[in-house]
Amino acid sequence: MCGIVGYVGRTTAVQPLLKGLKKLEYRGYDSAGIAVVEPHLQVYKTQGRIADLEALFTKGVPQGTLGIGHTRWATHGQPSWENAHPHCDCSEEIAVVHNGIIENYLELRKELEAEGHVFRSETDTEVVSHLVEKYYEGDLGCAVQAAIAQLIGSYALAVVSSRHPNELIAVRQDSPLVIGVGEEEYILASDVPALLDFTRTAWVLDDGQVARITRESVVVFDQHGEQQKPQTIRINWDPVQAEKEGYAHFMLKEIHEQPRAIRQTLAGRLGVRGNLQLAEEIPADLLHGITDVHLIACGTAYHAALYGAYLLQDSTDLQVHAELASEYRYKRVRVDDRTLAIAISQSGETADTLGAIRKAKAAGARILAITNVVGSTLAREADAVMYTHAGPEIAVASTKAYTAQLCCLGLLAAYVQLHLRGAYDPELLRQLLEIPDQMASILQACEERVKEYAGQRLAAASDTFYLGRGLDLASAMEGQLKLKEIAYVHAEALPAGELKHGTLALIEPGVPIVALATQPHLLDKLLSNLREVKARNGEVFLIAMDGERDYSQTADEVLLVPPTHPMLAPLLTALPMQLMAYYAATARGHDVDKPRNLAKSVTVE
C-alpha cells in the first residue's frame, strides 16, 4: 500500500509534492519518486528516503506547476530505482503513479509487448502508462478511462502528460484517493496527512470515478462518462490523528484494515469461481518429490505456522511440523532435499527465522518464504516467495499480517493438495472469498461488546486462560500472545482437554477464560471441558460459530462469528481476540503501538 500525491496549481510543484510525500513517510516505504511537467516530463526517483529524493534538487528545482509523487512499498518487483514510481510510457510523455495491485498485469504486459511497447520495470503499474499511451487520441482523461477498462484489481492512479501541462487525471477503484481544495491549486493524495498543510477541505473520489483536475477546476466523471458531483469533506483531524486515519492507534487501524488486506492477499491468486493461480509464485519443482514440510517462524508468525501445519496435515500425507525458529536452529532435525521449509515472517528480517532457514537450506531443503516485505532478507534468500500483501504494518503487535499469513497458508494448502493429489477442497476456496466481508461484519457487530468486556474483565485480571481444541488451539495461542504483549496481563493458552491434567487447579471464581468453539467435530468435547470450568465458577467468554447450539451451561458470554469452513474460522476468530487485547491495553493506559520491551522487527538472536 503505497502513498500517492499530485499537485496542480500556482507554484512550482516540487515543494508541495515533497512536503506531501514527507507526510506519508510514517507508512513505511522502500523508494520514492516524482514527475514534473516543465514542459517536458522530468522524472526523479530514488531507492531510499525522501531526503535522498530532495537531495536531487540541490542544484535547482524544475519550475513546472503540475506533478505527481509516490512512496513505494514493493509488491511486484524488488525495491529498486527501476521499480520506483512514476512509470512512463515508451515516449516518456506520460507518467503514472499507482497504489494497489493490477491482477491481470502479466497478460496485459504480454499483449502490450507484442504490440511493440518497451517495459523498463518489473512492476504491475507500468502496464497502465503503456495502456494510456495506446489509447491516447488527444484527450488524456479519455485515454485513462479506456485504460482502466482493461484493468482487473485495485488501484488509485494519478496520471500526467507533457502534452497537457495543466491537467492531472486521478482515478480510484478499491484504493483511497482524496483531492485537497486550495486557492487556485489542488493537491491529490492517497492519505489525508499529505493534505493537511494545504487545506482542510477535500473531495473524496468514489470507486470508478475519474477526476480531471486543473488549476481552475475539478470535473469528476463516472465510468459511463456521466459528470458527478464529488462528495466534500471537512477534515478536523490533527496531523497525528490523520496518520492513523482517525483511529487512536495504528494497531486499531490495522485491525480495521483486515478486510482490505485479505482482499489484497487474494487478489490475482483466487478467481471468482474459486480457481487457484499460484503457479507463478510457487513453481512445480518446489513441490516435486517433497516428503516433509517444516513451517518455521517466531511469535505470531509461529501461530500462523501451527495453522498451516494443521491444514497441510489434514489435506496431504506429508510429514508436517511447525517449528519455532529459535529451537529449530539448535536441535537435531531430519532435513534433506525432500524437505520443503516454509519460513513465515511479517518483516522477513527476524534473525532466528533467517538462522533456521539457512540451516535447512544448507541441508538441502527447498525454501518457500511467506512474508510481507518485498526485498527483505528472507525473500532474497528463499527459492520462492509468497507475499502476504497486507500493506505496511506499523504497530508492534501483528494483526493484519497474521490473518494475511493465514490466508496465504489456506491458498498454499489447497495448492499443495492439488499438486500432490490432483484435487482440492473447492468449498474451502469458495468460502475464502467470503472472508473479507465476514471480517467487516464482525468488526461492525462486536467492537463495542468486546471493548466493554475487555475494559471491565480482562484489564482487571492478573491471570487469564485461552482454550481451544484442534485448529482453535493455534488461534487461542495467538489470542493469549496479543493480550500479554500489549495489555501486560498474564495469559496462557491450553488445549481444552489438558485442563484436567493440572491447570484446572488455577480455575477459581471470576478467573476470565476465553474459549474458542469453531470446530464442529470437537464441539461436544470442548463444551464438556467448559462445564468443568463453570463448575469451578470460572468466567467464560466463548467465541463460537454454531448459532444453533445452547451454550447457557457453558459460557457467561457468547460471541458468534459468521459461519464459514471450519478450516477458515481462525481468520475470523482472530479479530475479536485482537480487539480484546487492544481494549484491555487501552483500559490499562498502555502505549499500544509500542509495548514495553518489544521491537517490531527482532533482528538479534
Catalytic residue list: 2, 600
Rule CB under 6 A: which of 107-126 touch ligand AGP? none
> Smallest distance from the beta carbon of 551 to ligand AGP, in angstroms?
29
Q: Which of 46, 315, 350, 480 is in the footprint of ligand AGP by CB under 6 A? A: 350
Q: Which of 121, 347, 431, 578 is in the footprint of ligand AGP by CB under 6 A? A: 347
Q: Is 515 buried (19+), middle (13-18) or exposed (0-12) by CB count in 10 A?
A: buried
> Smallest distance from the beta carbon of 345 to ligand AGP, in angstroms?
3
Q: Which is nearer to ligand AGP, 298 or 435 (CB)?
A: 298
Look up cell 490432483; give the residue. 422
The answer to whether the beta carbons of residues 27 and 1 sit under 8 Å apart is yes
> Smallest distance from the beta carbon of 597 to ligand AGP, in angstroms?
11
Q: Which is nearer to ligand AGP, 296 or 335 (CB)?
A: 296
Phi, psi of 153 (to 5 degrees): 135, -160
Distance of CA 32 to the CA centre of its chain: 20
Beta bridge partners of 227: 221
> Smallest distance from the beta carbon of 513 to ligand AGP, in angstroms?
22
Which residues lie below 8 Å from residue 234, measured CB to CB, with a gap of 6+? Answer: 200, 201
> Smallest distance from the beta carbon of 395 to ligand AGP, in angstroms?
8
Secondary structure of 541-576 in the HEC alphabet?
A: EEEECCCCCCCCCCCCEEEECCCCCHHHHHHHHHHH
326 binds ligand AGP (CB under 6 A): no
Kindly give the pairing relationship between strand 210-213 and strand 366-371: unpaired
The secondary element (H helix, E strand) that includes residue 258 is helix 258-266
Q: Which is nearer to ligand AGP, 397 or 558 (CB)?
A: 397
Name the residue with the smallest CB distance to ligand AGP: 299
345 binds ligand AGP (CB under 6 A): yes
Q: Which is nearer to ligand AGP, 5 or 373 (CB)?
A: 373
DSSP state of 499: G
Rule CB under 6 A: which of 239-258 touch ligand AGP? none
> Smallest distance from the beta carbon of 577 to ligand AGP, in angstroms?
12
CA atoms lying within 13 Å on the CB side of residue 527: 15
> Smallest distance from the beta carbon of 590 to ligand AGP, in angstroms?
14
Neighbours of 414 (CB within 10 A): 24
Binding-site size, ligand AGP (CB under 6 A): 16
Q: Which is nearer to ligand AGP, 347 or 475 (CB)?
A: 347
> Smallest distance from the beta carbon of 397 to ligand AGP, in angstroms?
4
Q: Which is nearer to ligand AGP, 301 or 507 (CB)?
A: 301
Cis peptide bond prior to 86, omega within 30° of 0 = yes
Q: Which is nearer to ligand AGP, 121 or 372 (CB)?
A: 372
Q: Which is nearer to ligand AGP, 58 or 597 (CB)?
A: 597
578 binds ligand AGP (CB under 6 A): no
Kindly give the pairing relationship between strand 339-345 and strand 168-173: unpaired
Binding-site string for ligand AGP from residue 584 to residue 603, where x marks contact by CB under 6 A and - marks none: --------------x--xx-
Kindly give the pairing relationship between strand 201-204 and strand 231-234: antiparallel
Q: Which is nearer to ligand AGP, 77 or 299 (CB)?
A: 299
- Of 15, 61, 63, give the one whose Cα is nearest residue 37: 63
Distance of CA 309 to the CA centre of its chain: 22
**94 grid coordinates:** 506520460
**226 grid coordinates:** 456521466
Binding-site string for ligand AGP from residue 51 to residue 80, where x marks contact by CB under 6 A and - marks none: ------------------------------
Q: Which of 485, 540, 558, 580 is in the footprint of ligand AGP by CB under 6 A? A: 485
How far apart, in whole angstroms, are the C-alpha atoms of residue 374 and residue 394?
Answer: 16
Helix/strand/coil for 237: coil
346 binds ligand AGP (CB under 6 A): yes
Q: 221-225: which pairs have CB atoms within 8 A and are 24 or more residues apart? A: 221/141, 221/145, 223/145, 223/149, 225/145
Rule CB under 6 A: which of 368-407 touch ligand AGP? 396-398
How far apart, in whole angstroms, are the C-alpha atoms of residue 365 and residue 382?
Answer: 10
Rule CB under 6 A: which of 292-321 touch ligand AGP? 298-301
> Smallest distance from the beta carbon of 455 to ligand AGP, in angstroms?
21
- Of 519, 515, 496, give the one whose Cα is nearest residue 580: 515
Residues that bind ligand AGP (CB under 6 A): 298-301, 345-347, 350, 353, 396-398, 485, 598, 601-602
